């Protein structure tokens, strides 16, 4: 309780504010520190990128913030995490559910096929994520308008499909529709395009960006692809071995990387872009 009473100058406008987040996993008899004292914040309607190679702790960071920890044994989870000023770690299950249900945060994932239930139709999976509402619009109408919002021209047939009947890009857009169903103020996207074809990647990113702008919704994108960051994000956090090694505006980061690791990441992604344009 005392932590919540401490006044923090300059954080009032933050939608999400994370101080000194530490996460430790117990792997057999060893403690593995996945996130090591990270400070992190997101302003309303802002798009923030978190980059770093696999194992840098970026996914664990947002899993911890959204209280969706993987099934590993968590031996330590500490820090001051606030969403709209409310203490996330101290929140009851019921309150955190309420945040997920409506006007809080949502999440999309790397592998949309594994994250959709194979035995339920798409429409049903979106409908069960809808925020509670009182107005006259029916669930199926809301599902259809969500599907239209993420770029489907025939929402009816998509809603009636099973996940395996859709392409990878379509599935990821269905995931976005599910995430949007609760009218979130903040969307976490964990490697949203890594599992997709290059051409589809761009479409999904464009959809994500359009919705981010139209809804004034804050987005946190986790990625190892600096190209994604360059296209979408206002600010970037660079993570390495559980720590934030650099945080900067996107333009600043690309033009004047302060940390050698950031510079190396930029160099590598430039190489990759060259490969791509060379047709490899």
**Closer residue to another protein in complex, CB, 103/203:** 103
40 contacts another protein (rule: CB under 8 A):
no
Three-state DSSP at 13 gives coil
Task: Answer whether 231's CB lies under 8 Å from 205's CB.
Answer: yes
Tell me: does residue 76 bind another protein (CB under 8 A).
no
Q: Which stretch binds another protein (CB under 8 A): 33-41, 110-118, 237-245, 251-259?
A: 110-118
Total residues in contact with another protein, by rule CB under 8 A: 32
Give me the least distance between CB of 108 and another protein, in Å please: 9
Q: Is 154 a binder of another protein (CB under 8 A)?
A: no
Q: Which long-range contacts (CB under 8 A, 24 or more apart) does 158-164 make?
A: 158/122, 158/123, 159/121, 159/122, 159/123, 159/126, 160/121, 160/122, 160/123, 161/121, 161/122, 162/118, 162/119, 162/120, 162/121, 162/122, 163/112, 163/113, 163/116, 163/117, 163/118, 163/122, 164/113, 164/118
Distance CA 129, CA 30 (A): 38
Interface with another protein includes 5 (CB under 8 A)? no
Among 154, 165, 197, 255, binds another protein (CB under 8 A): 165
Q: Which of 65, 81, 107, 143 binds another protein (CB under 8 A)?
A: 107
Q: Measured between alpha carbons, how far is 167 from 200 in angstroms, rounded to an integer?
A: 10
| 102 lines the binding site for another protein (CB under 8 A) | yes
- 116 lies in the binding site for another protein (CB under 8 A): yes
Query: Would you count residue 115 as binding another protein (CB under 8 A)?
Result: yes
Phi, psi angles (nearest 5°) of residue 243: -120, 150
Residue 100 found at the interface with another protein (CB under 8 A): yes
- Cβ 102 to another protein, closest distance in Å? 8
- One residue of 56, 172, 182, 247 binding another protein per CB under 8 A: 182
Is residue 111 within 8 A of residue 192, CB to CB? The reply is no
H or E element, residue 120: none
Contact residues for another protein, defined by CB under 8 A: 66, 68, 71, 97-102, 104, 106-107, 109, 111, 114-120, 125, 128-129, 162, 164-165, 175, 178-179, 181-182
């Amino acid at each position: 309780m005392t932590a919540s009473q401490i006044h923090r100058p300059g954080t009032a406008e933050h939608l999400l504010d994370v101080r000194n987040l530490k996460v430790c996993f117990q792997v057999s008899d060893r403690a593995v520190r996945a996130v090591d004292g990270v400070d992190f914040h997101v302003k309303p309607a802002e798009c923030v990128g978190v980059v770093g190679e696999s194992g840098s702790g970026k996914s664990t960071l947002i899993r911890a913030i959204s209280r969706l920890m993987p099934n590993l044994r968590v031996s330590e989870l500490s820090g001051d995490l606030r969403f709209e000023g409310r203490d996330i770690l101290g929140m009851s299950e019921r309150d955190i559910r309420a945040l997920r249900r409506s006007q809080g945060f949502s999440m999309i994932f790397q592998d949309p096929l594994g994250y959709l239930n194979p035995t339920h139709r798409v429409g049903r999976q979106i409908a069960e994520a809808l925020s509670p509402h009182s107005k006259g619009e029916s669930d199926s109408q809301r599902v259809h308008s969500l599907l239209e919002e993420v770029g489907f021209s025939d929402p009816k047939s998509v809603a009636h499909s099973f996940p395996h009947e859709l392409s990878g890009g379509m599935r990821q857009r269905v995931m976005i529709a599910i995430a949007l169903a609760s009218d979130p103020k903040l969307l976490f996207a964990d490697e949203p395009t890594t599992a997709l074809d290059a051409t589809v990647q761009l479409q999904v990113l464009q959809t994500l960006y359009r919705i981010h702008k139209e809804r004034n919704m804050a987005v946190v994108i986790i990625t190892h692809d600096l190209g994604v960051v360059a296209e979408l994000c206002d600010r970037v956090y660079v993570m390495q071995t559980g720590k934030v090694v650099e945080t900067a505006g996107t333009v600043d980061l690309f033009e004047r990387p302060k940390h050698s690791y950031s510079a190396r990441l930029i160099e590598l992604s430039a190489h990759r872009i060259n490969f791509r344009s060379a047709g490899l």
